[in-house]
């Protein structure tokens, strides 16, 4: 199946001193991450943003994949970055934040720091408990894409939510929540004051559960869920670069 125009993965080869792995969200594509990636590339970082399996084509393809496939894709890219750069950061939006946390749990201090934008580890929706049953009889439900406050911005994502894939995401949430204490890297967490997709409790659960001592929380006052394409996008981008520089400076002082 052909990849939708604009949904392609992207990479920038920059410094071997530091790199960024970017992880896009559930039913989304690298298009939502491209401006972020361009900003990081302009700052000199090596950047990789894969297209997750089942994404960027048609929603039916997602129902043939699961969290192990999505995690495997970002894990492979992380290993490539770790072999190419001295320091590696991982950043994600929404489910991309879930994948980022899972990578942090597995790889420990091999990851220099993580950046989370409206990350998800649970949902309070009552019908989520029915996902295992619904996934056997219902292929899809209305989508969750395009929660953006900024006029004229459109998220390149599926208009339908594949139910079988959503049930698999719920499994990833449970696994990730159970191991949050294993996240010990420096963390920059940015979350929207108004988010119609990921409930605010997600950020609080993460902040309460992670084992990191270096944690910075930023509330995005002017954006909805897809904040990387919203009014606060430039704030996300500049804070990410500042965060990475601060972490690397601290590491150099500790090493010295």
Candidates 95, 94, 76; CA nearest to 21 is 76
CA 126 vs CA 96, 123, 143: distances in Å: 23, 8, 17
Helix (H) or strand (E) holding 136: helix 131-137
Read off the DSSP letter of residue 91: E
Taking a C-beta distance cutoff of 8 angstroms, is the pair 118, 201 a contact? no
DSSP 2: P
Residue 21 pairs in a beta bridge with: 48, 90
Catalytic residues: 94, 195, 225
CA 54 – CA 169 distance, rounded (Å): 13
62 is in an annotated binding site: no
According to the annotation, is 26 in a ligand binding site? yes
How far apart are the C-alpha atoms of 200 and 171, rounded to whole Å?
A: 20
Residue numbers belonging to the annotated binding site: 26, 95
Residue numbers belonging to the annotated binding site for substrate: 26, 95
């Amino acid at each position: 199946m052909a990849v939708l125009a604009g949904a392609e993965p992207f990479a920038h080869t920059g410094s071997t001193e530091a790199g960024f792995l970017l992880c896009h969200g559930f039913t989304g594509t690298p298009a939502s991450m491209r401006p972020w990636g361009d900003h990081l590339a302009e700052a000199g970082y090596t950047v990789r943003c894969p297209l997750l399996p089942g994404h960027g084509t048609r929603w039916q393809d997602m129902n043939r994949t699961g969290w192990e496939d999505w995690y495997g894709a970002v894990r492979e890219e992380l290993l490539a970055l770790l072999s190419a750069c001295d320091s590696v950061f991982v950043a994600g939006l929404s489910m991309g934040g879930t994948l980022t946390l899972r990578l942090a749990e597995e790889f420990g201090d091999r990851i220099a720091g993580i950046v989370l934008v409206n990350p998800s580890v649970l949902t309070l929706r009552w019908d989520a408990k029915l996902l295992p049953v619904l996934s056997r009889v219902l292929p899809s439900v209305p989508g969750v894409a395009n929660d953006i406050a900024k006029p004229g911005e459109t998220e390149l994502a599926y208009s339908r939510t594949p139910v079988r894939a959503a049930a698999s995401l719920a499994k990833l949430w449970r696994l990730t929540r159970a191991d949050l204490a294993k996240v010990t890297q420096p963390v920059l967490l940015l979350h929207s004051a108004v988010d119609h997709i990921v409930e605010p409790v997600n950020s609080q659960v993460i902040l309460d559960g992670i084992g990191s001592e270096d944690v910075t929380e930023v509330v995005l006052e002017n954006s909805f869920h897809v904040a990387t394409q919203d009014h606060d996008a430039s704030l996300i981008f500049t804070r990410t670069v500042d965060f990475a520089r601060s972490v690397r400076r601290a590491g150099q002082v500790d090493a010295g």
